[in-house]
């Protein structure tokens, strides 16, 4: 017997200039993992925010357990059994796991906080779903994947039956993804239902029971994972054939662009994050930096572009000293930097998209003349980039914060690709992008290489590293554990290196 726990009917949500959801209908059955697929800006997050009570739909109806409801706000959503795990967690870093879970629904004994009976209840949930977590650890000490688990437990503790996971795998390591999938399975096996958003088609086929595809605010199709393959899903999503394999000619490395010698970087607490790293990148080659998140790649990039100071060692760009150069100096030496954390670095969310498009060139002609900003030039430039990179927005003068997750990324990519450069340092350049956009960005990266640019790609996606790189540097524990030519190594071998296993 099929039991529909959540149904949305003809949901329409408009923003100024866009119809984010255009009469969307779909059903979530009990015990089902329902994957939502769609291009960047298709309207997936908007729909979830409507269901979770963050947005009021302009039209349409929501049914929970076949009863029409109006979800007023997230509180209301939770009370009706709907929980949502956001990608950026809303946890208090210095609280213990237990404190974070009860936060917002504390019980008290007189004036003091009662943690004993919640602890019992929470432990029961942990055992029931095999969540495996220590309730007394300080939250900030936990890896991202486990913090996400805290969010899931938090929702379960509030007795939700429906869990919305909006791109939960975007920042997880492959191992963490596996763990998450086990948890998701265990949840649906015991009667919970899950809406799962991702751009990784492989994951959809692996975990989903039902797939709904959205394009430009409309449902354009649905599929069962056993009848679908990645290629067909991609086509349905983007509305055209997507070439999932990259074709590139052999690299022809030329002059030296980036030279890094014995670089050491420490964090604020004095821990060594980058440990005596030396490598070089020549014009016309793509070097991929592979590694599990947290093995020094972030700090390496930040030190190279001048965001954090180095401890010792030297950096040269185009043969010129660039150790501890300021971000502006590095930019002016002809490099571009796509930062890893697209919401925090490299963007000002309340600014317009146009202003963000010139964030690091605002002071140069033609965007400014003798200290006066040239609004028209800026806007023209931005409108062009918006079109070229297919940033989905009704206007370049909308605030950057109105963009969808993937379009945030496209906006940064567009800006950094827009200048003449000879060094491109790209950290997670396709995180959160749909397959069509990934294809586009990958082509631009290869185009830059072929124009004679030195490219450094940092990615936790092994597939991306394998596809793009001419050479691969694997980092482990802050050190370079190996440097290999991409066509002489298999994905499995790189995977082993990433885990610190040397032959």
Ligand X SMILES: Nc1ncnc2c1ncn2[C@@H]1O[C@H](COP(=O)(O)OP(=O)(O)OP(=O)(O)O)[C@@H](O)[C@H]1O
Q: Report how far residue 152's alpha carbon sits from residue 163's, in angstroms, rounded to the nearest whole number.
A: 8
* Chosen residue from 217, 432, 436, 478 binding another protein by CB under 8 A: 432
Binders in 17-76 for ligand X, by CB under 6 A: 18, 20, 38, 40-46
Does 63 bind another protein (CB under 8 A)? Our answer is: no
Q: Which does 38 bind (CB under 5 to 8 A by kind): Mg ion, ligand X, another protein, none?
A: ligand X
- Judged by CB under 8 A, does residue 264 bind another protein? no
Count of residues that bind another protein according to CB under 8 A: 62
State the binding partner of 43 from Mg ion, another protein, ligand X, none, CB within 5 to 8 A by kind: ligand X
Examine residue 310 and tell whether it contacts another protein (CB under 8 A).
no
Q: Among the candidate windows 44-52, 105-113, 169-177, 237-245, which touches Mg ion by CB under 5 A?
A: 44-52
Residue at token pair 């213990």: 96
Backbone angles phi, psi at 421, to 5 degrees: -135, 160
- DSSP lists the bridge partners of residue 99 as none
Q: Indicate whether 246 belongs to the interface with another protein (CB under 8 A).
A: no
Q: Which residues of 216-242 are buried (b: 16+ CB within 10 A; e: fewer)?
A: bbebbbbbebeebeeeebbbbbbeeeb
Could you say which of 100, 393, 459, 460 contacts ligand X (CB under 6 A)? Answer: 393
Nearer of residues 406 and 436 to ligand X, judged by Cβ: 406
Residue 218: contacted member of ligand X, Mg ion, another protein, none (CB under 5 to 8 Å, by partner type): none
396 binds another protein (CB under 8 A): yes
User: Among the candidate windows 83-91, 179-187, 299-307, 399-407, which touches ligand X by CB under 6 A?
Assistant: 399-407
Among another protein, Mg ion, ligand X, none, the one that 444 touches (CB under a kind-dependent 5 to 8 A) is: none
Q: Each residue of 386-424: b (16+ CB within 10 Å) or e?
A: beebebbbebbebbbebbbbbbbbbbbbbbbbbeebbbb
Taking a C-beta distance cutoff of 8 angstroms, is the pair 167, 144 a contact? no
Residue 45 binds to Mg ion (criterion: CB under 5 A): yes
Q: Which of the listed partners (another protein, Mg ion, ligand X, none) does 347 bind, with a CB threshold of 5 to 8 Å by partner kind?
A: another protein
Burial class of residue 380 (count of CB atoms within 10 Å of its CB; 0-12, 13-18, 19+): middle
Window contacting another protein (CB under 8 A); options: 116-124, 242-250, 401-409, 445-453: 401-409
Query: Closest distance between another protein and the C-beta of residue 384, in Å?
Result: 6
Nearest Cα to Cα of residue 404 among 55, 50, 20, 35: 20
The half-sphere exposure of 271 on its side-chain side, counting CA atoms within 13 A, is 9
- Are the beta carbons of 410 and 354 closer than 8 angstroms? no
Return the residue matching tokens 């869990």: 163
Under 8 Å between Cβ of 437 and 430: yes
Which long-range contacts link 332-335 to residues 24+ away (Cβ below 8 Å)? 333/423, 334/420, 334/421, 334/422, 334/423, 335/305, 335/421, 335/422, 335/423, 335/424, 335/425
Among Mg ion, ligand X, another protein, none, what does residue 176 contact (CB within 5–8 Å per kind)?
none
Binding partner selected for residue 30 from ligand X, another protein, Mg ion, none, CB under the kind-specific 5 to 8 Å limit? none
35-54 residues near another protein, rule: CB under 8 A: 44-45, 49, 54
Residue 405 near ligand X by CB under 6 A = yes
Buried b (16+ CB within 10 A) or exposed e, 37-49: bbbbbbbbbbbbb
Q: How far is CA 479 from CA 47, 256, 258, 299, in A?
A: 43, 22, 18, 12
Residues that bind another protein (CB under 8 A): 16-17, 44-45, 49, 54-56, 86-88, 166-168, 170-171, 197, 307, 326-329, 331, 337, 339, 343-351, 355, 359-360, 362-363, 368, 371-373, 375, 379-380, 383-384, 387, 394-399, 401-402, 404-405, 408, 431-432
Q: Which residues bind ligand X (CB under 6 A)?
A: 15, 18, 20, 38, 40-46, 392-393, 402-407
Contact footprint for Mg ion (CB under 5 A): 45, 404-405
């Amino acid at each position: 017997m099929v039991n529909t726990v959540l149904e949305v009917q003809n949901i329409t949500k408009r923003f100024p200039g866009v119809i984010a959801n255009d009469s969307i209908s779909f059903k979530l059955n009990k015990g089902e993992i329902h994957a939502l697929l769609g291009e960047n800006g298709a309207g997936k997050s908007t729909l979830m925010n409507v269901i979770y009570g963050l947005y009021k739909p302009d039209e349409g109806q929501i049914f929970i357990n076949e009863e029409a409801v109006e979800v007023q706000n997230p509180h209301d959503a939770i009370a009706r059994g709907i929980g949502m795990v956001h990608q950026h967690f809303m946890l208090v870093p210095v609280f213990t796991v237990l404190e974070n879970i009860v936060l917002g629904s504390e019980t008290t004994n007189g004036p003091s906080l009662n943690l004993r009976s919640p602890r019992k209840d929470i432990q029961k949930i942990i055992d029931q779903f095999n969540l495996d977590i220590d309730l007394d650890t300080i939250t900030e000490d936990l890896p991202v994947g486990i913090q996400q688990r805290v969010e899931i437990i938090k929702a379960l503790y509030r007795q939700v039956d429906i869990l919305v996971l909006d791109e939960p795998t975007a920042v997880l390591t492959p191992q963490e993804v596996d763990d998450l999938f086990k948890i998701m399975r265990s949840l649906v096996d015991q009667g919970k239902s899950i809406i799962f958003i991702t751009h990784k088609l492989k994951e959809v086929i692996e975990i989903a029971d039902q797939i709904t595809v959205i394009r430009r605010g409309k449902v354009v199709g649905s599929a069962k994972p056993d009848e679908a393959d990645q290629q067909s899903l991609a086509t349905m999503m983007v509305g055209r054939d997507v070439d999932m394999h990259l074709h590139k000619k052999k690299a022809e490395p030329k002059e030296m662009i980036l030279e890094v010698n014995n670089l050491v970087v420490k964090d604020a607490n004095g821990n060594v994050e980058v440990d005596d790293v030396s490598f070089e990148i020549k014009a016309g080659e793509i070097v991929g930096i592979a590694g599990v998140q947290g093995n020094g790649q972030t700090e390496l990039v930040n030190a190279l572009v001048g965001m954090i100071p180095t401890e010792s060692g030297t950096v040269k760009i185009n043969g010129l000293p660039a150790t501890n150069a300021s971000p502006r100096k590095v930019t002016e030496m002809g490099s571009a930097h796509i930062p890893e954390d697209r919401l925090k670095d490299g963007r000002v969310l309340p600014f317009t998209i146009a202003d963000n498009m010139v964030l690091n060139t605002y002071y140069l002609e033609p965007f400014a003349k003798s200290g006066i900003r040239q609004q028209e030039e800026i806007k023209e430039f931005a409108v062009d980039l918006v079109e070229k990179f297919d940033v989905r927005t009704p206007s370049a003068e909308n605030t950057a914060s109105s963009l969808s997750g993937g379009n945030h990324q496209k906006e940064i990519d567009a800006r950094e690709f827009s200048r003449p450069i000879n060094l491109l340092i790209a950290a997670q350049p396709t995180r959160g992008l749909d397959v069509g956009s990934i294809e586009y960005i990958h082509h631009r990266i290869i185009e830059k290489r072929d124009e004679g640019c030195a490219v450094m790609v940092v990615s936790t996606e092994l597939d991306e590293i394998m596809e793009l790189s001419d050479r691969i540097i694997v980092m482990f524990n802050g050190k370079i554990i190996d440097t290999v030519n991409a066509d002489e190594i298999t994905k499995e071998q790189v995977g082993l290196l990433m885990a610190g296993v040397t032959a």
